[in-house]
């Protein structure tokens, strides 16, 4: 089972929900809680000593422009531009 807690807005309680959900599930099974916040990961604040740092990578798909509509291509370029500027 994979569960993702996500929101585009900060301060909505994603970490609090994630930590409590992970704790509840850990009572009956092994869990892996991964904080993918690139700017301010803070799950370690709730689990002192459980911090495990490692490299983070992101796969970038290749786009076949021959198979992609103009609208699709604009969307891909827009998302790519936003990722590159951050």
pLDDT tens by residue, 25-60: 989 999 888 888 878 888 888 876 665 667 767 777
Cβ neighbourhood burial of 46 (10 Å; 0-12, 13-18, 19+): middle
In the numeric block, the tokens 């198979």 are attached to 67
pLDDT value, residue 78: 80
pLDDT value, residue 51: 59
Query: Model's pTM, two decimal places?
Result: 0.53
């Amino acid at each position: 089972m994979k569960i993702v807690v996500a929101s585009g807005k900060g301060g909505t309680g994603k970490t609090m929900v994630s930590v409590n959900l992970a704790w509840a599930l850990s009572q009956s099974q092994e869990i892996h809680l991964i904080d993918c916040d690139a700017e301010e990961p803070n799950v370690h604040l709730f689990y002192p000593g459980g911090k495990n740092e490692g490299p983070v990578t992101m796969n970038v798909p290749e786009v076949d422009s021959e198979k992609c509509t103009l609208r699709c291509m604009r969307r891909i370029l827009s998302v790519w531009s936003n990722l590159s500027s951050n």
